[in-house]
Structure formats: structure tokens, C-alpha cells
């Protein structure tokens, strides 16, 4: 149990019900758990805040810097940084947290984090994605404040303007290296990204995520569809590799005489959806695909209960997909690309079938095995279920977060009061 932390400020660019992926859901679940024991306040961005119900424990006030293109983000960055710094300092002064727990903040200025670090408040990071560990280096305003070896022309003028702007009282940001604790979502992400240059790690741990819906998924009764049915659950983007199983449908049909369906569920980007629909038409499988959009738990439970397999075809370095844990609890056979933290979550062959990223024939072969070998597929899913019970349970995760934050406060407070 946390013994010393009584006030925790959670920083995250998105917070449910405004969410697009797994890290937001994990952040909300962790916050709910901590809030049951401590005084917890969330500071997040204004992104779609009109769609969120009023909550006195959630402040949606950080500038939303998503969208609009790189030039617009760059031009708006001084005003956005000033707004974020002013907001963060106001919340810090009023709330007086013992710890700032930073999640993904890519859609909001990093000035909020710098303000907390400059105030000497212990900071702990939860790194769930590659971008989360790179935001300090990529924030346009803070990047202009750092020393560089060479800068000419418009870039030199821009940097001079940013430095002049930073003299304003509401800014005066010092993006210096600071000590902090880091909880990585997977060993794969830690190897891939490494500790950001801005952070001197006082403590590092790998804490696998957990789904707060594990018990509910475990109770879902499997009732397979009469037609071979594959499910995809996640953001509808090319990065998630949905074009791979789309093309695999044709291979399965033409080479294996298996006419399968692909049911796609998740938040959609219209432009990406149109690209994927065009791919489906080009390979002649458009009628075999159903686009379901966002599903609530009941809809997702029905989808997974009827699916012969869940496919996770990511082409980007997936750190640790929460949907893999949920499928394991639901005893759904998993077919996935062998990339990032996916094989760290589910062991190849023992818990899931894998194929090389972007390998259409490899994906088709793995999906075909699931259909033609129902006994082996069920046994593999049962092993994944037992693995999930042992490693992805909510209580295990909550205890790990508790211990991490307790140790972070103890370690960082000691470094502030004693010699470093």
C-alpha cells in the first residue's frame, strides 16, 4: 500500500471518456484505483471536452495541440506553452501534490511537465508508447530553448523569438535534465526507446498493463459464428496493419478455399477508412468485411465470443496491446505480427500464432491454421487464459503500481533532501 503519497496529480493528454486507445483506458483504471485510497486530481487537455461529463476531479484545461499540421502547431506553440505552464502552476499551487504521475502528453504542451519538474515535485512517468518517451525532444517550443551547434536563417530567427518569449513571467521555462521514476509498459519498449535525455532515472520498472474488464471477459461464453470469422479491435489506421488481414482474406479464399469474414471494431479516421476500403475493393474482398465502429463492452463481448480468431496485425512497434490481454481472458485464439511487445505479452506458438509484420501470406497461413485446427487453437487459447490470469490480473497490476509510486516518492524525496 502507498503509505506516504496522499496527493497525486495525474497528467495525461487524454482521459476517458475521451479515449482512442489502450493507454487512456489504463490511465483511467489506475486513477480509479489510486483515487479509492488517496487524493487524486487529473489534469488533461481540452480535446473534445464538450463530450465529457463534468467531473470535479478532472480538469480539462491544457491546450489541445493536436491537428492543424506541423506549421500551425509550431506557430501556436509559444501561446500554448504559456497557457500550459500557467495552468499547471496554478493547479500545482492549489493542489500541492506529493507526486506528479505523467502519462502520455503528446497532444498537450510539455510545459506542464517542465513546470512540475522546476517546482521540485517528485515525478513518475508511465511510458506506454514510443512517442511518450520522445515528447520532450519533439516539443517545438522546448526544442527551441535547447542549445544547438548550428542554426541559420529562419530557424535562427525562430529560436531567438522563442527565447525572447520565454522571458515572459508566465513562461520562464527551464527544460533541464531532471530525476524521475519510470514505469515502462514492456521490456520491448524500454529496449526500443531508451531513457529520454531529459530524464535521469532514479528508478525504473517494467509493469505490464492489466485490463479492468478481465473478469467480465473471462465470463463471456464462446459461441462461434457459423462462418469463419476474424476480428480486429483497435484504431482504424494503416499503422495498425489492417490492410494485411484484408489482403489475407483473398489468399485464404483463393488458395485455401476458406471464405472468411473480417469484423473491424474501433475508432475510425475517415481518410484511413477510405484507404482501407479501397484496398478491400482492389483485392476483391469488400463484401467479406464489416465495419462496426466503436463498441461498448457488450458489443465487444459478442464480437469476441463469435470470432474464430483475433488478429493483431500491427506494422508499427506495438509496445504492449491491451486487446491481447483481453482476448486471452476471453479464450479467443490470437494471430499477431511478431513485433514490439506482442510476443512479450503472449509467447509465440504457446499462447498465440505469429507472422512477420506485413506478411500477407504468413497472416493467411496462421488464420487458416486456427480454422482447420480447432482443437489445437482452443488448447492454445486456454494456455493464454491461464497465462493472463497469472500475469495480467488487476490486483497484480494495482500492487505493482502501488509499490512503484511508493518507492518513487521515497527515492526522489531522499534525493531532494540529501546529496545526489
Domain layout of the chain by residue ranges: 7-209+394-417, 214-391
How far is C-alpha 151 from the geometric centre of its chain's CA atoms? 34
> Could you give the CA distance from residue 258 to residue 368 in angstroms, rounded to a whole number?
8
* DSSP string across 3-24: SS--EEEEE-S--TTS-SSHHH
- Architecture of the 214-391 domain: 3-Layer(aba) Sandwich (3.40)
Bond before 17 cis per omega within 30 degrees: yes
Strands 309-312 and 229-233 come out as: parallel
> Could you give the CA distance from residue 353 to residue 260 in angstroms, rounded to a whole number?
18
Question: Beta partners for 126?
Answer: 183
- Is 136's pLDDT higher than 70? no
Cα–Cα distances in angstroms (integers) from residue 341 to residues 345, 365, 405, in the given order: 6, 22, 23
The whole-number average pLDDT for the span 215-230 is: 95
Looking at domain 7-209+394-417, its CATH superfamily turns out to be Glycogen Phosphorylase B; (3.40.50.2000)
**Residues 315-333: tens digit of each pLDDT:** 999 999 989 999 999 999 9
DSSP code of residue 120:
T
Q: Residue 250 in contact with residue 284, Cβ under 8 Å? A: yes
Residue 308: per-residue pLDDT? 98
The whole-number average pLDDT for the span 226-235 is: 96
Residue 419: per-residue pLDDT? 39
Q: Pick 173 or 361 by higher pLDDT.
A: 361
Q: Please tell me the least confidently modeled range out of 23-32, 46-55, 409-418.
A: 409-418
Contacts of 7 (CB under 8 A, 6+ apart): 38, 39, 40, 41, 95, 96, 97, 98, 99
% the chain with pLDDT above 70: 94
Give the H/E segment covering residue 123. strand 123-127
Question: Beta partners for 133?
Answer: none
Residue 102: per-residue pLDDT? 95
- Is 100's pLDDT higher than 90? yes
**Residues 252-270: tens digit of each pLDDT:** 999 999 999 999 999 888 8
Q: Please tell me the least confidently modeled range out of 103-117, 293-307, 360-374.
A: 103-117
331 in the Ramachandran plot: left (φ > 0), alpha (ψ -120 to 50) or beta?
left
> Could you give the CA distance from residue 342 to residue 329 in angstroms, rounded to a whole number?
15
> Could you give the CA distance from residue 41 to residue 57 in angstroms, rounded to a whole number?
5
**Residues 333-373: tens digit of each pLDDT:** 999 999 999 999 999 999 999 999 999 999 999 999 999 99
**Residues 1-16: tens digit of each pLDDT:** 445 557 999 999 999 9
Pull the grid cell for residue 282. 482492389
Please give the model's pTM, rounded to 2 decimal places: 0.88
Amino acid at each position: 500500500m502507498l503509505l506516504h503519497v496522499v496527493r497525486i496529480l495525474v497528467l495525461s493528454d487524454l482521459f476517458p471518456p475521451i479515449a482512442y486507445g489502450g493507454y487512456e483506458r489504463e490511465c483511467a483504471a489506475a486513477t480509479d484505483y489510486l483515487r479509492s485510497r488517496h487524493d487524486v486530481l487529473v489534469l488533461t487537455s481540452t480535446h473534445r471536452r464538450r463530450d465529457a461529463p463534468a467531473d470535479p476531479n478532472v480538469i480539462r484545461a491544457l491546450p489541445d495541440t493536436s491537428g492543424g499540421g506541423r506549421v500551425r502547431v509550431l506557430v501556436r506553440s509559444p501561446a500554448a506553452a504559456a497557457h500550459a505552464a500557467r495552468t499547471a502552476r496554478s493547479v500545482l499551487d492549489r493542489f500541492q501534490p506529493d507526486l506528479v504521475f505523467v502519462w502520455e502528453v503528446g497532444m498537450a504542451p510539455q510545459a506542464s511537465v517542465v513546470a512540475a519538474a522546476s517546482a521540485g515535485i517528485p515525478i513518475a512517468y508511465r511510458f506506454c508508447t514510443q512517442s511518450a518517451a520522445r515528447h520532450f525532444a519533439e516539443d517545438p517550443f522546448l526544442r527551441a530553448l535547447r542549445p544547438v551547434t548550428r542554426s541559420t536563417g529562419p530557424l535562427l530567427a525562430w529560436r531567438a523569438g522563442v527565447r525572447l518569449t520565454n522571458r515572459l513571467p508566465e513562461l520562464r521555462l527551464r527544460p533541464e535534465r531532471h530525476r524521475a521514476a519510470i514505469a515502462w509498459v514492456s521490456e520491448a519498449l524500454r529496449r526500443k526507446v531508451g531513457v529520454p535525455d531529459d530524464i535521469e532515472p532514479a528508478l525504473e520498472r517494467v509493469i505490464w498493463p492489466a485490463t479492468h474488464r478481465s473478469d467480465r471477459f473471462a465470463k463471456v461464453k464462446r459461441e462461434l459464428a457459423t462462418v469463419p470469422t476474424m476480428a480486429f479491435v483497435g484504431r482504424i489506421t494503416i499503422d495498425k496493419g489492417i490492410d494485411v488481414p484484408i489482403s489475407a482474406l483473398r489468399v485464404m479464399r483463393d488458395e485455401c478455399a476458406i471464405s472468411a469474414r473480417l469484423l473491424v471494431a474501433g475508432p475510425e479516421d475517415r481518410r484511413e477508412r477510405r484507404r482501407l476500403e479501397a484496398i478491400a475493393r482492389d483485392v476483391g474482398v469488400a463484401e467479406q468485411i464489416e465495419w462496426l465502429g466503436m463498441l461498448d463492452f457488450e458489443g465487444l463481448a459478442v464480437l469476441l465470443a463469435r470470432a474464430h480468431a483475433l488478429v493483431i496485425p500491427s506494422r508499427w512497434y506495438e509496445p504492449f496491446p491491451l486487446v491481447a490481454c483481453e482476448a486471452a481472458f476471453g479464450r479467443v485464439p490470437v494471430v499477431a505480427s511478431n513485433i514490439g511487445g506482442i510476443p512479450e505479452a503472449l509467447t509465440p506458438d504457446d499462447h498465440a500464432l505469429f507472422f512477420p509484420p506485413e506478411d500477407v501470406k504468413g497472416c493467411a497461413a496462421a488464420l487458416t491454421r486456427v480454422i482447420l485446427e480447432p482443437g489445437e487453437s482452443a488448447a492454445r487459447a486456454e494456455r493464454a487464459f491461464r497465462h493472463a490470469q497469472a500475469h495480467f490480473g488487476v490486483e497484480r497490476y494495482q500492487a505493482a503500481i502501488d509499490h512503484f509510486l511508493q518507492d518513487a516518492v521515497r527515492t526522489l524525496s531522499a534525493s531532494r533532501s540529501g546529496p545526489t
